[in-house]
Structure 1
Amino acid sequence: MTHPQPKAEVFAAIRRDSRAGLSGRQIAIKYRVSRNTVAEALRQPWPEPRKKMAPRASRLDEFKPLIDEMLRADLDAPRKQRHTAKRIFARLVDEHQAMEISYQIVRAYVAHRRGEIRVEAGRGPPEAFIPQSHLPGVEAEVDFGDVTVRIAGEQVKCFLFSFRLSYSGKAVHRVLATGGQEAFFEGHVHAFRVLGGVPTGKVRYDNLKAAVSAVLGFTRARTESARWTAFREHYGVEAFYCQPGIKGAHEKGGVEGDIGWFRRNHLVPIPEVGSLDELNEMIDRWDEADEGRRIGARARTVGEYFAIERPLLWTVSQEPFETGLLLPVRADRYSQITVRTNRYSVPARFIGRQLRVILHASHLIVYDGQQVVAEHDRLFAKGGRRLELDHYLEVLIRKPGALPGATALEQARAAGKFPPVHDTWWAAACKAHGDRDGTRALIEVLLLARHLPTEHLVTGLAAALRAGALTADAVALEARKAAEEDEQAAPEPAQHDNHEATVTFLTERRLAQLPRDTRPLPSVAAYDQLLKRARPPGERPAQGETP
């Protein structure tokens, strides 16, 4: 099947054949066009543009003047009492019986007509955007975005932090359990470490609560939170705050688009990981691979532009900044503390005690003075509980009947910290010794985990179960046997062929720099004359001689 040539090429061919002496009839037959087309081609070298078809009539046409009237009335109405597309549609139906139109048609018309009416009324210029150029190493943009991931089989909502350099487009990402100030700080510290420095100019931000405590009127002035000001001064960050709302999003469009691009290209389908640390390790690899891509029609890759930009960044302060929040807490009678609506367990000996918590974006650490007493991964949802079975063992050994229904035991099973061999050994111990003594024996076994590795303890449980030894002492013995076997099976450290010591002492190193000492070793034989002469037994000392 032959496809017709473009009309401009046909015109050129017709004019060429006419100059060669072909008649209009021959040309029309050759190119399968009308005689009128041949005559038009001979009159002008370029065909007339195709006429646009008149717009088709729409069922909305008769209602457009009514919509325009409502939109003009909104020019003088209070901002919070202006017509929405939904309200306009409702008025057309109620007041003008516009049953034949749909809400989608009204919404599409209102979307583009509202701005036109504002311009026609002289209330402002049409929306326009000015292209911007950025110097290397000077500017950056920061933002948070929502993402959904599956962690340990549970689908949770997390927050994607993005720090993007404006010149190169190099972006550093981090997924965090929260979008609070501690996550905001941790994202910055990670970005500074990866980039190797801080931009010398301004970093653009939203008016997020982690940094801004108050927006002062319609100006650029902001009241910053005290910790954010300290953080900025520590790392030398100069902040620039965008306008509130959609207008502010246009002022940092690079990072807004980057979050959407990263989410579509790396987080679709929803990633399934065991922990946030595992996900962030994947994200670090993705960020490194993304240096090979080109943004838009740029001549070079992100990595090539970043190689120009990196030496121009300010060096990061080597002194660490505590990104976590310090919170005072008190352990209640359930041996739990409350942090941001969630509850976490601590060892039972701290019930009623005042403790301190360092709250990080993805985990928290509990202190008693300078001693770390508990560590937990941070909960994603609100009103949850995270309990460690080990924190309750001292109480359970006195109340063994509380173990079967303990929430801490249920969570330990779900987390894989209470494998099936524990249940099997527990059931056998209860059958042999009774429920109370059998449960108490299991708790004694669980206490062994504080001194023995988990894998050796599991091996000891299995060996004791096979032998029918249902006591904690037997489990401890078998676990220590497994540990000794592992030590014997472990490869010996490599030995040097010359069998010389691998440790160089400072004194030997200093003496090695001195010339060889050829002097004889000192002797104390001359001092023997000072020694008392030994007398035979029974001989008395001479007169005047000291005995």
Structure 2
Amino acid sequence: MKQFDVISRYRQGESYRHIARELGIDRKTVKAICDRYKKGIDALNSSKSEQEVEEATEQLVLTRSYDSSKRRTRAYTPAVEARMKELYQQELKKNKRLGPHKQALTAIAVHELLAEEGHPIGYRTVAHYWRQLKQKTREAFIRQEYPLGYRVEFDFGEVKLEIAGKVRTYHLAVFASPASDFYWAYLYTNQKQDVFQEAHVQFFEMVGGVYQEVVYDNMRNVVTRFIGRSEKELNESLIKLSLYYGFEINVTNCFSGHEKGTVEGRVKHIRRQCFSKSYQFSSTEAARDHLTQQLIRLNQKSQIVEEKQYLLTYRPPFELAEMVQCRVNKYSIIQYETNAYSVPDYLVGHTVQLKVYPEYFVVYANHEEVCRHKKIEGSHQYQLDIYHYLKTLMKKPGALKHSLVLKHSPDLKALYALYYKERPREFLDKLDQYQALPKEQLMAQLSQTASDKSSRSLSQEAEAITEAIEADWQRLNVIYGLERVK
């Protein structure tokens, strides 16, 4: 955490001495951190190839640690605070319902409830905060006005859509700028860390720059854990993203959605304007296209063109895909998360590397790409490619008929059953011969070849029958003396 604090203060213009004094660390340590950061920035700005960008990114992405071994555990945790606020709201409803009464929920009763629920907190602490809740006056808000390019707010929102006849829940990743009134959104199937990161990269690419500050609530993608009541340990992936692009991280207080009210309102606005009337789509891509077109319409009055002049300098897309190792089983299949994917059959028994992106992954063996798969939506499903098994099937053509890989290609299976069920090796030869063709052309070529061969076979059979009939007539003519034997 201190490395990120040092860089954040350095970017705000504080001196090494002042940073060291404020954070309680050695000035040489501060200088070393800042020098490494400056070196990474210089390397990134002068990068001329993807490899140089990757090396510069590694220079910028600093790891951090927080030593909390000597910190005493705080009893008044965010969970306790939330529970006490819930009890207080219930108490207000009870007072409104009953009117004047003598069954008030006292601090003693609150302490007993918390203890029964497993919260290790003392009575004096409960009494102190319960008294504060009861005496709390109505909160005043200070209206904010931000300059162009300074602040953008982020949040996730849910939307239910009917895709190809099936109802699914999608997650809207939304960015909103309070200064320019510009907002952007994208539909994802989940809100995991890789999706959270991908949304940032897409947004910065789309606007062609970076805002000075990005504001978040206390979602898991942002806060790894709470340390005491006010301190938070930020997610390491978010810190790497911040160091690369150069934006500041602003996390709102707990239960304070108004601190990022612009994006809160925009999530509701997008849901109402884009999906209240249109919610049925043929595919996820169709729904995303619809959202893109609607956002163009909704952003017509924004000041995004003017704001782009004030954004931080554009940088190449940040890429830090997750690297995963998988063992290839005897069926030439790897297991990723809860689904199964095929790889070329020569890799059976080997370990391969997966470079995982939000919607697909690339498989590498010996540092060479061997295949890639789109991630399956769902669990305990298969994604198999028949070309991954050609080498084995050539040796065992009889295994094709009942193979799982053929079953998972309904079009090919129907074609095989219609034309090639007695000639599996020929079918495999044709697949190998035409595998460079797009699927539609492949199917057409396989059908045409089979039809031509079938026509030739019928013609040859007809000729053989005709010849046999003529021979029989000749023999009968000889028997009855109608024709001389030559």
TM-score computed with the length of structure 1 as normaliser: 0.57
Cα distance between partner residues in 1 of 2:388 and 2:313: 44
1:196-228 Cα distance to aligned partner (Å, 9 max, x none): 22112x211123333332222211x32233332
The one of 219, 227, 252 equivalent to 1:208 is 219
Q: Who is 1:262 aligned against?
A: 270
In structure 2, the partner of 1:427 is 418
User: Within 2, Cα distance between the matches of 1:178 and 1:61?
Assistant: 41
Instruction: State the SS of the aligned residue for 2:395.
Output: coil
After TM superposition, give the deviation of residue 178 of structure 1 in Å: 2.6
Structure 1 unmatched ranges of 5 or more: 1-59, 84-117, 293-300, 472-547
Matches within 5 A, 1:128-207: 128-151=140-163, 154-200=166-212, 202-207=213-218
- From 106, 122, 125, the equivalent of 1:73 is 106
From 314, 317, 330, the equivalent of 1:316 is: 314
- 440 and 360 in structure 1: CA distance in 2 versus 1, 3 angstrom threshold: same
- Classify the secondary structure of the residue corresponding to 1:156: strand
2:98 counterpart of 1:64: yes
Between the aligned partners of 1:145 and 1:121, the Cα distance in structure 2 is 30
- Amino acid of the residue matched to residue 353 of structure 1? H
> How far 1:232 moved relative to its partner?
0.9
**Any conservation in 2 of the 1:425–1:465 contact (CA below 8 Å)?**
no
Structure 1 residues 324 and 147, CA gap change in structure 2 (3 angstroms): farther
Contact 1:426 1:442 in 2 (8 A): no
Residues 1:448 and 1:207: Cα distance change in structure 2 (over 3 Å): farther
The size of the alignment, in residue pairs, is 349
Matches within 5 A, 1:287-436: 287-292=295-300, 301=301, 303=302, 305-318=303-316, 320-413=317-410, 418=411, 423-424=414-415, 426-430=417-421, 434=422
> Structure 1: how far apart are the matches of 2:292 and 2:298?
10
Contiguous gaps of at least 5 residues in structure 2: 1-93, 117-129, 457-486
Q: What secondary structure is seen at the aligned counterpart in 2 of 1:397? A: helix
Aligned residue identity for 1:139: R
Aligned-residue Cα RMSD (Å) equals 3.2
CA 1:306–1:78 in structure 2 vs 1: closer, same or farther (change >3 Å)?
farther
Amino acid at match of 2:148: P
Q: CA deviation at 1:80?
A: 6.0
Alpha-carbon distance in structure 1 between the residues aligned to 2:382 and 2:340? 5
Q: Is the 8 A contact 1:186 1:323 kept in 2?
A: no
Q: 1:131 deviation in Å? A: 3.1
What amino acid does structure 2 have at the position aligned with 1:307?
V
- Describe how 1:244-259 pairs up with structure 2 within 5 A: 244=254, 247-259=255-267
| Structure ID, larger Rg | 1
Kept after mapping to 2: 8 A contact 1:425/1:461: no
Q: Distance in 2 between matches of 1:329 and 1:225?
A: 26
Read off the aligned partner of 1:308 and give its amino acid letter: E
| 2:106 partner amino acid | A
> Could you report, residue by residue, the CA deviation over 1:393-427 in whole angstroms, capped at 9, with x for unpaired residues?
333333444434433333322xxxx26xx624533
* Kept after mapping to 2: 8 A contact 1:119/1:125: no
Provide the TM-score with structure 2 as the length reference: 0.64
Residues of 2 paired with 1:80 and 1:336: CA distance?
Answer: 52
Whether the aligned pair in 1 keeps the contact of 2:435 and 2:442 (CA below 8 Å) is no
- Opposite residue 445 of structure 1, the aligned amino acid is K
The corresponding residue for 2:251 is: 241
